[in-house]
Structure 1
């Protein structure tokens, strides 16, 4: 099915998924164009949240570090200039709410839904959660509150089940939610006109324009798995320890070679991550062939990345190596990851 058709069908579905209180029609001053844009962004959030959760969950046995995950994606309307419109479009009663729930996650099992408003975690009102933790200092101020909430939620889940106070359509309820231990990483759609993706060691970001370019979730997963591989292999820490320059001069000499080595590793690991999560690793070949023919060298046309034909050859070699071994319980142990089980 054509992606734009799927998008409009999904937007309609999302509009009916919002609480009934948000279906009565916008008040004066609510921007209809912004509502449609936010619904489109929410659709991309749904896709990335589902793909990211599936990748970290399926590959958990091979990660040396793990994090408690629920499958929830939270959003803070304070990050939008027009908060009234954002609250209406997302269906929130308050400021912090659920944007997406990953399929087959503890959040789905707890019957949480997009549009639910988060009021408290274990009786702690979200408005009272401290945002001055030094670990949050690298976050932009508008994202700091939701980052603090996610941090508290993860810490609480690592100890036991958590009770969330939720509001939907003005009706409050308390929901017990568990978690699963997955590979560590979080995922976000970054609104941008550029087609790019990145990883900072903890977070995978995909721009909205690139997310709209994918023809399937398998293609989407190919790029997400590549960025996730950077995080799992701790490439940022390694490059920092080696004194690699990631700025302009990082495109030359020793720095460029070290960055390229990390890109090759991420490509190699990505197809294993995809296969273990049930995505078709051949989609990496299809995506980079299509993207390469249309845009040349790829997302980053720099000396630190292989040109697309060489990337495709690398994927083919890695897939052949993976298919030559026998999977255990339908999964392949990635050679680049330390196996913990």
Structure 2
């Protein structure tokens, strides 16, 4: 826990201007380091949610299938080992609350705010949502409720606009959230001192250490877009169908070649996703050049990935293709996405 706290102190101290909760830590019995750690994590959650939603919303026309997305990130008090600390630092009054709201999203337009407690979805109380679904068995116990709530919200949005009962400042309200289609994927920060990013077909995960390495949101978007591309191109399903070994033996033979093919596709698609969302695609060149020079070993030298110089060449090639095109309604139809046909 102490190492995780150190990871966030500098970032949180720079961005959160002298939060009263940190100043009052002696009265509440919590250390300022622990408070700032959670606030720093929430800040990273907000960034990944904002950038991720911008990417999936801007590229909605090219994604098949689409799902309704709100730009809302929820969290559950059970996720936090020290629940009293989380309630104090993050203002969680109930069980499930709003953790982040993406700008220009249905959640923002509905008037949802960070710290709002979610009481019910279309009249179904949060505490009545079943947690015994076999699909939840793979989730750690502390994440089963939030997974079930997100699933219930997705199902409700698939049928149309959704009414949420919320609690804010002791007052209960009802807000209606528009069902708006976007590309599928969720986004999250995983607490880790390793610089890493991954995609499992449904969720894009960026490690806290990697998130702190980015110089700006465009670099952040470059890595999120790469992982999002894996999900949109259904690479996990494709590799599973090919019986690809993702473990140690995946670094050799046919498995390595097939994984490398997906990495090349994700690199190529990523800059198109960035450009359509208004992020400078040259940020991918800048980021991977800097990262490659500083950390050119490890996964960057694995047989499943191009070396960083070759990756940068791919980005440059794709950016040149876009430069030679006339955008359609301000967007560049990505060649690799079925919806661009």
TM over 0.5: yes
1:107 aligns with 2:107: yes
| Contact kept? 1:201, 1:234, Cα under 8 Å | yes
**TM-score normalized by the length of structure 2:** 0.93
CA contact (8 A) 2:45 2:189 kept: yes
Residue in 2 that maps onto 1:98: 98
1:94-153 CA-partner distances (Å, limit 9, x unpaired): 121111000000111111111111111122121111122222232222111101101101
Partner of 1:118 in structure 2?
A: 118
CA positional deviation for 1:297: 3.9
Secondary structure class of the residue paired with 1:176: strand
- Partner residue, 1:204: 204
Comparing 84-93 and 213-222, the one that deviates more: 84-93
CA distance in 2 between counterparts of 1:299 and 1:71 reads: 31
1:316 maps to what in 2? 316
| Contact 1:93 1:169 (8 Å CA) reproduced | no
1:11 aligned partner? 16
- Distance in 2 (CA, whole Å) between partners of 1:213 and 1:124 is 41
- Alignment correspondent of 2:65: 65
CA distance in 1, matches of 2:67, 2:87: 30
Residue correspondence of structure 1 range 232-311 to structure 2 within 5 A: 232-297=232-297, 300-311=300-311
* Corresponding residue number in structure 2 for 1:19: none
Partner of 2:5: none
The range that moved more, 156-165 or 179-188, is: 156-165
Q: Structure 2 vs 1, CA of residues 340 and 274 (structure 1 numbering), >3 Å: closer, same or farther?
A: closer
CA distance 1:5–1:35, shift in 2 (3 Å): closer
1:142-188 per-residue CA deviation (whole Å, 9 max, x = no partner) reads: 11110110110111111122111111222221111113100000000
In structure 1, the residue matched to 2:328 is: 328
5 Å matches for 1:105-254? 105-254=105-254
* Counterpart-to-counterpart distance in 1, 2:147 and 2:340: 28
Q: How many residues align?
A: 333
SS of 2:215's equivalent in the other structure is: coil
Which position in structure 1 is the counterpart of 2:337? 337
After TM superposition, the structure 1 = structure 2 runs for residues 77-92 of structure 1, keeping only pairs within 5 Å, are 77-92=77-92
Contact 2:94 2:117 in 1 (8 A): yes
3-state secondary structure, aligned to 2:99: strand
Structure 2 gaps of 5+ residues are 1-7
Mapped partners of 1:127, 1:110: distance in 2:
23
More divergent stretch after superposition (249-258 vs 80-89): 80-89
Decide whether the 8 Å contact of 1:298 with 1:308 is kept in 2.
no
Q: Does 1:48 align with 2:53?
A: no
Separation in 1 of the partners of 2:72 and 2:109? 11
CA distance in 2, matches of 1:189, 1:320: 32
Query: What is the root-mean-square deviation of aligned Cα atoms in Å?
Result: 2.0
Relative to structure 1, the CA distance from residue 24 to residue 5 in structure 2 (aligned partners, 3 Å threshold; closer, same or farther) is closer
TM-score by length of 1: 0.93
Task: After superposing the two structures, state which structure 1 stretch, 36-45 or 170-179, moved more.
Answer: 170-179
Gaps of 5+ in 1: 17-21
The whole-number CA distance in structure 1 between the counterparts of 2:298 and 2:321 is: 24
Deviation string, structure 1 residues 185-220 (Cα, Å, up to 9, x no partner): 000000001000000000000000000000000000
Q: Is the 8 A contact 1:66 1:183 kept in 2?
A: yes
287-296 or 169-178: bigger deviation: 169-178
Greater Cα offset, 127-136 or 225-234: 127-136
